[in-house]
Each structure stands twice: as C-alpha cells, then as structure tokens.
Amino acid sequence: MKYPLLLLWLLIATTGSLFADNRPNILVMMVDDMGYSDLGCYGSEIQTPHLDALAAEGIRYTQMYNTSKCWTTRISLMTGLYHQRSDRDFTKTALAGEVLRPAGYHTWWSGKHHASFNPFDRGFDHFSGFLGGAINFWNPGEAPRQGEPDPGWKAVYTWAFDEKLIKPYSPDTDFFATDRFTDWAIDWLDEAAGNNGIEQPFFLFVAYNAPHWPLHAHPEDIAKYAGVYDVGYDAIREARYQRQLEMGLYNATTSTLSVPESKRPAWDALTDEERHAESMRMAIHAAMVDNVDQNVGRLVSRLEDLGELDNTLILFLVDNGASAESPNRKGAPPEPWGSVGTFESIGQRWANVANTPLRLWKVSSHEGGINTPMIAHWPAGISEESEGSFYREPCHLIDLLPTWMELAGDSAALPGESSESDIPQLDGISLVPSFSGDPLNREDPLFFAYGSGRAMRDGNWKLVVKGDGPWELHDLARGRAETKDLASQHPERVATMEEAWQNWYRECTGKTFSPKVEKERNAP
C-alpha cells in the first residue's frame, strides 16, 4: 500500500481538487537587516534555540540570495520577479496572495510592508502592519505617550488593519513590535482553526522588522548579553568563523575570512567609553535576534498544538545583509539602552561581524549584502536524508513564489486575482527539488542591481562591482568570501559576463544602465 498512498498524496498535493486537501501550509518569516552569521545554526553566539531546532530537522541554505535592500527584496519575494521589472507600488506583478488565494489558501500578512499600498487590497485576507521602512519598536507614533520620552522617529508611517488605515498609530504601552506581529499571526491561526481545525491550507507571511535600527529590546533580553561583546569586533568574528568551520558550513581552504573594509576605528583604538557603547549596541542587536527566536518558538508551538506543524513548510530568511548605517539622530543615548527614547544602530564594524565571513553589507552586491541565511522545515515534505543538511546550490528570492505555486497545484497560476497589466512570466524556478537534496537545473544566471552595487552569478563565477570601481571576478567555489579577484586573469570572461549583465538590465528596465538611471529608479 505504501506506493499507491504516496501517489495519492502527490496527486492531492499537485491538484488540490480531490476529497481531502493535504497541500502544505506555508509559513514565511522574514527578518530585517540581520547578518548572515547571526543565528546559532550559522555560527553565532546569540541564543536562537528554536531556529536551531528547525535547522536540525530541516535544511540550511548556504547560498540563498536576496536583493540587498528591504523594499526590493519584498518585490522579488512576493512576485517571483526581479525587482527591476516593477516599482515601489509593485506594478505589473501578481502577489503571492493574489495567486494563492484563488487556489484555496487562506492568505495572511503581519508586520512590515515597505510600500504605499495596502496588502489587504492585493490578495490578502488579513493584513496588520505598517506601510514603511523603519519604526520605533516601542512607540511607532509621532508623539510621546504619557510618562515616556519622545520616540525620536519622525518618519511616521500609515498602519493598516485590513481595510482600516491609521496614521499616526500610537499603540498601548505593552506594545513591542516583534511580539505584537506574532500575536496577530497567532490570532489568525486560531480564528481559522475554530472548533473543527484548519480545513484549508494557509499562506502566512510574518515580516518582522527586527533587528533593523533603532536598536530596541526588552531589558531582560539585553541582560543576557551583558559583557559578551566587550572582547571586541575581531574576537567575536573569529569565534563565529571557527564555529562555521566546525559545523561544516564552510571549509577553511575555500572560504577564508574576508578582510574588514570598515573605515571605523579598530577596537584597540577606542576609548573605554566608546568600547562600552559599541558593546551595548551589539548586545541589543543580539537581544533583538533572541526575541525573534522566542517568537518563532511561539508560532511553532501554536502550529504543533493545532496539529499543523508536520504539514507546514516553514521558511525563515532575511531581506538583506546586516546594515552598516549609523543614523544616530540624538547623540549619545540616554539610559536605559534599548528603550523608547533611544535611537542607535550597530554601524560598519559590527555589520561586518554579523555577516561573517562575507564581504561588506546591506546595499552592496558583494556576498555580505545579498546573502541570506535560510532555513526550510517541513517534516512531511523534506526527505529524511536531507534533515539537518546544508543545501549549497545558489538560490534566489525569485524562486520562492514558483515553489509555493508548485506546492499549491495547478490552480495557482498567473495572474490569479491581480488586476495589473503586462505581468511578466516568473523569473525564478521552483526549489521543491532541494527538499530532497536534488539539483535545481537552473538554466539562466542570477543577476543583481541596487544602488551602486551590481553583480551576476553564473555557476561558480561571480562578476561584481561597487560604485565606480572596476568589475571584480570571483570563483566562489574557491573563494566564497570574494577574497581573490581574478578579473585580470580572465578578461574575456569579464567582458562576456558584463555584456550579459547589461542585456539583462536593459531587458528588465527598458533602459541602458547608468548610475543616474539607477538612482532615479530607486528614488522614494
């Protein structure tokens, strides 16, 4: 009976049209500006037991790519397209909700949406969150609440709760963004479960904005990391790298530790006061990641209670590399650190640590800007042989919607409910083969462009440039951290790849690349 039952399951999964709907639920959790090495299962000292457990039973992707920027990543994640084909309003696209809802999925989105439109109007049964880039985690409003200091963040965004729009949104004093985003997601799960359990599959996107600046965290979480970072940037980075080698994430021969490129002073050059401030910044960053992990645990526990964990594909990933920005608006922070009146960020040195062993950071097309740690967990769909494994083939955000569509069956098709015109065919391919450790057989290279960063990945070869500098060429099979530029040894390859990149950019945008064109395209 084993094989007939397996065939029946596959038929149900691909059509969704038989007497029972066993297609998987899909839970996507994406964090904001977290570094490649910030999870315990990717080498960190930060306590992330719930995510580590998902990784131990699932798959860790070593070369999953994002777009290096918050809003562009959300376009590719939700549409299966290179963000260059659209704009900040996601025109000419069909969102995941618009594709999956007519296929019979509940569709829910909680948290951040870095655009001006309301996802409730684009295929989502529920949306609760903000339409912007960064918020005060304690008070995202524009005025102080009674007994509190000024929240210090003047770019106040619209919040949406389904069809209801609120600006400014000043929540109760128990509000902390990461926790509340999880509360809303759990409420929808419970609502759908009712008295009979969840009868149709769901697509749930929880878009955490942690650990994006400003650095805010619960005091008890910050206390866990008191003194941990007093040893400085280099010691933490080296320890992370050694853990990565020990767990088999990297090989010391092919993945040497990149040289920091920060212009900020080294640890030994700082005063005692400066070291304390730097240590506290990273401690709060760690506390924010720790708190995300706690909320992941809450979601996983609720799925388990509802009997839905085994047949839920859980994906955890990051929108871009750690941020090197230093938007300190208020000078030295008042005590207590991490509270509503503070406005801090980790800066270049800690961003370099967070992205260990990779080069550079957010908005760069080098590996530290465009790599995301991604965990896939799905007991019913990931083969036993793949449990606890690393998947080392290059993947991209554009591959996620094709994956979800394959799992949802033939009824999930473009344009779905989208009323947009001129929707292109998907740029990505399905990652379903990776759940069994099989190759993806990707036919086309992967391309990148944001701001001053541009890149192309063709097999193990990567062409990349920063700003007005020359094109670099790297063999990532021999130098994963882009430590050896081979452009001068392979000028023909550089020329061929650059031409392919230019053709791709022109095909996507209808324009020839220039810094001016790209700046105008990315303008708010």
- pLDDT tens-digit map of 114-130: 999 999 999 999 999 99
Neighbouring residues of 371: CB distance < 8 A, sequence distance ≥ 6: 36, 63, 64, 65, 66, 321, 355, 358
At how many degrees (to 10) do helices 272-305 and 49-57 cross?
Answer: 50
Report pLDDT for 492: 97
Residue 481 is predicted with a pLDDT of 94
Domain ranges of the chain: 24-435+445-521
What integer pLDDT is reported at residue 12 of this predicted model? 41
* Backbone angles phi and psi of 128, in degrees to 5: -135, 120
**Region class of 363: left (phi > 0), else alpha (psi between -120 and 50), else beta:** left
Torsion angle in degrees (nearest 10) through CA of 123, 127, 131, 132: -110
* Predicted local confidence at residue 5, as pLDDT: 32
pLDDT of residue 20: 45
pLDDT of residue 262: 85
What residues form DSSP beta bridges with 475? 461
Q: What angle do CA 238, 244, 250 make, to 5 degrees?
A: 115
The superfamily in CATH containing domain 24-435+445-521 is: Alkaline Phosphatase, subunit A (3.40.720.10)
Low-confidence ranges of the chain (pLDDT < 70): 1-20, 328-335, 519-521, 523-524
Peptide bond into 415 cis (omega under 30): yes
State if pTM tops 0.85.
yes
Three-point CA angle 305, 306, 308, nearest 5° = 110
Tell me the torsion sign for CA atoms 131, 135, 137, 139.
negative
Dig out the tokens for 278 from the structure. Answer: 């730097």
State residue 6's pLDDT score.
37
* Separation CA 282–CA 264 (nearest Å): 15
